[in-house]
Amino acid sequence: MKEIYIGIDVGSVSTNVVAADNDLNILSKQYIKTNGQPLESVKQCLRRLREESGNNIKVLGAGVTGSGRQLTGIMIGADVVKNEITAHAAATTAYFPEARTIFEIGGQDSKIIILKDGMVIDFAMNTVCAAGTGSFLEHQAERLKVNIEDFGDLALSAEKNVRIAGRCTVFAESDMIAKQQYGFSKAEIINGLCEALVRNYLSNLGRGKKLEPPFVFQGGVAANKGIKSAFEKEVRHRIVVPEHYNVMGAIGAAILARDCAANAGETTKFRGLEIENSDFTPSSFECRGCDNFCEVIKVEINKKVVAMWGDRCGKWTNSITN
């Protein structure tokens, strides 16, 4: 029976689940669209993991990260719940201990992480502007009637440079339409779009930061060769794209779960792969115990209350004993 650690990264666009052994060999990797149903997508990934393993695995620990980490952590019984910065840094330093700068671009957000001696010393996140994210590239690919998988190769085939305004999605799209009318090819416009996205990313997230190599580029957009090439052009240095670039957050969560198990020496709180069959119900109510009128989040699994939070005084939060 294989002993594994599970890492889960629940984002607004994708849900990623990995199973890793103690030596960080990735035994299973799931990458699916969240489709506005983060809990269901996690269940689907765990179902696939169970089908792949044939129940021939023993889970020693589980970690969760991403925008949906809190609810997911409660649902699966996570040993570790950490933010994306911590998770991505843990994964990167495990594979590239000398890394100094991490570029990460996902479907709905992007981040930059500065490392020194394996520790995070600075970071920045962008969750507001869509111009520097994968969803923006997908939208433009649809508009240009180009498969997003071909985006990078097309960008690299451009014969001429064209500058696209990339500070805003509206301006970028308007500029792209204008450049089409001027007769520039799709390849040239796509290359210009890749360069605009990178300029926008570096001017927003990299402003005031000392960006030093080695550089590591991860997140779903790291598959785009055009974006990688644009980064290398801007920083004038080679950029490394990890083998598991699209699930590095999940790998980091698994690493943190492994480290927690090693330090605590306790058995995992993971509820088991069978959690997919459980009835998980989040709800909320307004507490009338005082004039604060706190909105309290209540979470039930199979009609048993397993977590509550949101109250300032702790009346409901502290009422749960597992």
For 224-257, how does the pLDDT look when each residue is reduced to its tens digit (9 = 90+)? 999 999 999 999 999 999 999 999 999 999 999 9
Q: Provide the pLDDT for residue 261.
A: 84
Tokens of 173: 């799209």
* pLDDT tens by residue, 23-58: 999 999 999 988 888 889 999 999 999 888 877 899
Query: What residue ranges do the domains of the chain occupy?
Result: 2-90+249-277, 97-241, 280-319
CATH class entry, domain 97-241: alpha beta
**How far is residue 241 CA from its own chain's centroid?**
15
HEC string for the chain: CEEEEEEEEECCCEEEEEEECCCCCEEEEEEEECCCCHHHHHHHHHHHHHHHHCCCEEEEEEEEECCCHHHHHHHHCCCEECCHHHHHHHHHHHHCCCCCEEEEECCCCEEEEEEECCEEEEEEEECCCHHHCHHHHHHHHHHHCCCHHHHHHHHHCCCCCCCCCCCCHHHHHHHHHHHHHCCCCHHHHHHHHHHHHHHHHHHHHCCCCCCCCCEEEECHHHHCHHHHHHHHHHHCCCEECCCCHHHHHHHHHHHHHHHHHHHHCCCCCCCCHHHHHCCEEEEEEECCCCCCCCEEEEEEECCEEEEEECCCCCCCHHHCCC
Which residue's entry shows tokens 């960008």? 155
Residues of the chain with pLDDT > 90, as a percent, come to 47
Residues 76-114 pLDDT 10s: 999 999 999 999 999 999 999 999 999 998 877 889 999
CB atoms within 10 A of CB 170: 10
Give the Cα separation of 79 and 76 in Å (integer). Answer: 9
Find the range with the poorest average confidence among 171-175, 200-204, 251-255.
Answer: 171-175
Q: How many Cβ atoms sit within 10 Å of the Cβ of residue 289?
A: 12
Strand bridging mode 2-10 / 14-20: antiparallel
Rounded to whole angstroms, the Cα distance separating 45 from 67 reads: 17
Statement: residue 132 has pLDDT above 70? no
**β-pair partners for 308:** 298
Q: What is the mean pLDDT of the chain?
A: 88
Same fold, 2-90+249-277 and 97-241: yes
- Whether CATH 3.30.420.40 fits 2-90+249-277: yes
* pLDDT exceeds 70 at position 210: yes
